[in-house]
Amino acid sequence: MAEKKLLNGLDVEEIETALNILRAQPDRSNAPKSSRVRWTSGLQFKAFVRNHVFLVDEPAHLTGADESPNSVEFVLGAYGACLATGFVWIATRRGIAIHNLEVVLDSTQDNAFTFIGIDPPDGHGHSGLDEIKAKIYVQASADEQTLREIWEQTLKTSPVGNSLTRTVVIEPEIEIIP
Amino acid sequence: MAGNGLPLYPVTVVGSWPRPTWLLEALRKRQAGQISFKEFNEVADKAVLEALRYQDEAGVDIVSDGEQRRDNFYSFVVEKLEGVKLMTLADIMDLVEDREGFDKILRSMDAPAFSIRNPTVVDKIKPRMSLSMDEYEFLRQHTHKPIKIPLPGPYLLARSMWVKGVSDAVYPTQEDLAVDLVQILRDELIALRDAGCEFVQFDEPVLTDVVFNAGVKERTFMCASMSASSGDPSKELIFATRMMNSITEGVEGIRTGVHICRGNWSRKDDVLLNGDYEKLVPTMMGMDIDQFVLEFATPRAGQLAVFDHHRKQREIGLGVVNPRTEDIEPPEFIIEKVDEALDYFEPEQIYLNPDCGFGTFAERPMNPAELAGQKLRTIVEAAEQLRAREG
């Protein structure tokens, strides 16, 4: 059997094969995803996504058990991972070996107090993220201009980034179980 | 004359030199286990000769090998000691509890976890080979000039190599590790002296962290000191002095120095420590050391007047150029610094050097080699003018 060609730990041929399969299925471009989140106790929740499960908690200063990041922290971690994923994906498809990569993010919220009830929700801003600083440190076998181009492309195409910066339509519903 | 055949105001280096990219590639391969120690050193030999060429062209009097074989000024001990493993902060963050503490410090350093590699004690330490004899012997074959060998100081090694959650299985405390560290460094000093080395400099940058972050028990990566301090500056400084003196006591026939800086791994001044040496002078004076190699080229270092009550008692390796900036300090600037130092030191006691090395961490040099060479040249020009002035 021919040896797999790996770059950055990825099977390059497998990537192109996967892309060819998806190319032939344009209806999959909206990439549906789902999750189920169950309350366990206090401020702790279990999130189920496909066959994975992870905890969501709150920090101790908000009376949580602090056994996991909170929801907003997961968003930040998700954005960082999304950027890192994008960078690795694009670089690999361009044949560039990455030696090390790390994304560091810092964020603030417009007014977190509206979420926890210190401020009323109307007229006092909103509880969402208002600014995220995202810095990537990368060591790779490519010149600086190429790496900067890949970073620009990563930022532009990041699914989480686009979710954060574009308006997402949310359709809420509640069902009360007797 | 300064003594030992050296001219007045001898010009030297603090240690590290920018690494060429082909050396960094070899270093990366060595760390990944793709090439042997011998194969790496064949590449490093060429880099050392390059670093020596820059020093010779500038006219430096006491040369170093530019620490070209070293990942940084202290983590190279991994190759030389058994029981020590080079772990990136990324690796360590997987094992320790206080990840948030480490992350906070990485942010203050503006550095990624993967770029900070730390020699971490994972077993009883003992020499696999000499720490630096290979460096000395190679350089000796290629120069007749006096050679300076920088070594990590005992306090730096104790603070950086002992990591709670990893090392305490072997050495319950830093003090337990210190016993073995002191013996290894003392044996190294004596061996270098016996081989003909003229100058050994012990690097102790963490001492400024002790006095400027007094009372803070958090870890700091002021040059990546991993272990939390006791938080009591007096206790830490006494510990550091005791270790140093245990190494140097009774060892004659070689010049010893201690280099204490505030960190020169970033061009961003706000991530580096600042403050004068006043709180450290008593500790320095308590050390059985010939020369204090200090930074005085920038305002953050404070004034030489801190030696007012200890005039003319030791030598000073006067830091007169900033390795992190692109501007080349003119000789007049350096001469002014020397004139100020002459209030506190005899001319024969003053050596001239940059504030710090030019490549503290191999992958983050502060300047390219050409510019570093120009910085050395300006120091030499100043020294020549000073010598002419002295007649």
Residue (of B121, B254, B227, B258) closest to B181 by Cα position: B121
Query: For B345-359, how does the pLDDT look when each residue is reduced to its tens digit (9 = 90+)?
Result: 999 999 999 999 998
CB of B90 within 8 Å of any CB in chain A? yes
Q: What is the DSSP letter of B189?
A: H
In whole angstroms, give the CA distance from residue B260 to residue B207.
7
Which carries the bigger pLDDT value, residue B106 or residue B147?
Answer: B147
Dihedral over Cα of A35, A41, A44, A46: its sign: negative
What pLDDT was estimated at residue A116? 93
Pick the CATH number of B21-390 from 3.90.320.10, 1.10.8.60, 3.20.20.210, 3.40.50.1110: 3.20.20.210
Say if strands B291-295 and B315-319 run parallel, antiparallel, or are unpaired. Answer: parallel
* DSSP letters spanning chain A: -PPP-EETTEEHHHHHHHHHHHHT-GGGGG-----EEEEEETTEEEEEETTEEEEE---GGGT---SS--HHHHHHHHHHHHHHHHHHHHHHHTTPPEEEEEEEEEEEES-THHHHTSS-SSSS--SSEEEEEEEEEEEESS-HHHHHHHHHHHHHH-HHHHHHHSPPP---------
Q: How high is the pLDDT of residue B100?
A: 83
Q: What local confidence, expressed as pLDDT, does residue A2 receive?
A: 64
The answer to whether the CB atoms of B112 and A100 lie below 8 A apart is: yes
Q: What pLDDT is recorded for position A129? A: 96
Per-residue pLDDT of chain A (178 residues; tens, 9 = 90+): 567 889 999 999 999 999 999 999 999 999 999 999 999 999 999 999 998 999 999 999 999 999 999 999 999 999 999 999 999 999 999 999 999 999 999 999 999 999 999 999 999 999 999 999 999 999 999 999 999 999 999 999 999 999 999 999 999 999 988 8
| pLDDT above 50 for B58 | yes
For residue B112, which residues of chain A lie inside 8 Å, CB to CB?
A: 100, 102, 104, 137
- A98 min Cα distance to partner chain B (Å): 12
Cβ–Cβ gap A102/B28 under 8 Å: no
Mark yes or no for CB contact B113/A102 under 8 Å: yes
Q: Give the mean pLDDT of B141-169.
A: 93
Which chain B residue shows the shortest CA-CA distance from A141? Answer: B25
Please give the backbone phi and psi of residue B14, each rounded to the nearest 5 degrees, phi first: -90, -35
pLDDT confidence of residue A95: 96
CB pairs under 8 A between A and B: 20
The pLDDT value given to residue B268:
59
The Cα–Cα gap between B227 and B317 comes to 29
Per-residue pLDDT at B223 = 46
For chain A, say whether B314 makes contact (Cβ under 8 Å).
no
Question: Taking all residues of chain B, what is their mean pLDDT, rounded to a whole number?
Answer: 89
Q: Which residues of A touch B28 (CB under 8 A)?
A: 99
Q: Which residue of B has its CA nearest to A140?
A: B25
Q: What residues in A contact B115, CB-CB < 8 Å?
A: 100, 137, 139
For B363, nearest residue in chain A (alpha carbons): A139
Residues 6+ away with beta carbon under 8 Å from B35? B26, B29
> In chain B, what percentage of residues exceed pLDDT 90?
65
Strands (E), B204-314: 255-260, 291-295
pLDDT of residue B274 exceeding 80: no
- Using a CB-CB distance cutoff of 8 angstroms, which residues of chain B are in contact with residue A101? 114
A36 vs chain B: nearest CA distance in angstroms?
A: 29
Q: Quote the pLDDT of residue B321.
A: 96
- For residue range B184-232, what is the model confidence (pLDDT) as tens digits? 999 999 999 999 999 999 999 889 888 876 544 454 554 445 556 677 8
A12-23 helix and A71-93 helix, angle to the nearest 10 degrees = 100
Task: Give the rounded percent of residues in chain B with a pLDDT score beyond 70.
Answer: 90
Q: Do A137 and B107 touch (CB under 8 A)?
A: no
Q: Looking at beta carbons, which residues of chain B come within 8 Å of A104?
A: 106-107, 112
Closest by CA to A10, choosing from A69, A72, A65, A91, is A91
B108 and chain A in contact, CB less than 8 A = no
What residue of B is the nearest CA neighbor of A99? Answer: B28
Q: Where are the domains of chain A?
A: 32-68, 70-178
pLDDT band at B95; cut points 50, 70, 90: confident
Instruction: Give me the residue from B28, B114, B363 closest to A102, CB to CB.
Output: B114
Residue B104 CB coordination number (10 Å): 14
Alpha carbon separation from B121 to B185, B241, B279 (Å, rounded): 16, 22, 30
Cα dihedral across residues B209, B215, B220, B225: positive or negative? positive
Residue B111 has pLDDT above 50, yes or no: yes
Q: How far is A100 from chain B (nearest CA, A)?
A: 7
- Tally Cβ neighbours within 10 Å of residue B323: 26
Domain range A70-178, CATH architecture: 2-Layer Sandwich (3.30)
Alpha-carbon radius of gyration of chain A: 20
Q: What is the ipTM of this complex?
A: 0.78
| Residues B112, A99: C-beta atoms closer than 8 Å | no
At residue B73, does pLDDT exceed 80?
no
**pLDDT given for residue B5 in this prediction:** 84
Q: What is the distance between the alpha carbons of residues B317 and B337, in angstroms, rounded to a whole number?
A: 12
Q: Which residue on chain A is closest to B28 by alpha carbon? A: A99
Q: Which ranges of chain B would DSSP assign to H, the alpha helix? A: 21-31, 37-58, 77-80, 89-95, 99-109, 133-142, 154-161, 174-195, 206-212, 233-248, 281-286, 331-341, 369-390
Give the per-residue pLDDT at B91: 86
Query: Which residues in A lie closer than 8 A to residue B90 (C-beta atoms)?
Result: 102
Question: With an 8 Å Cβ cutoff, are A100 and B107 in contact?
Answer: no
Q: A31-45 pLDDT, tens per residue?
A: 999 999 999 999 999
Nearest to B28 among A99, A101, A137 (CB): A99
The span from the CA of B62 to the CA of B138, in Å, is 15
Phi-psi region of B118 (alpha: psi -120 to 50; beta: other; left: phi over 0): beta
Q: B72 vs B176, which has greater pLDDT?
A: B176
Rounded to the nearest angstrom, the minimum Cα separation between B383 and chain A is 39
Identify the residue whose tokens are 């995220």: A132
In this structure, the strands spanning B199-203 and B148-152 are parallel
Is the per-residue pLDDT at B22 higher than 90? yes
C-alpha to C-alpha distance for B353 and B359, rounded to whole angstroms: 15
Taking contacts as CB-CB distances below 8 angstroms, the residues of chain A near B113 are 102
Residue A15, Cβ neighbours under 10 Å: how many? Answer: 14
Predicted pLDDT of residue B3? 61
pLDDT of residue A126: 95
Cβ-based contacts of B111 with chain A (< 8 Å): 137
CA distance A47 to B8: 72
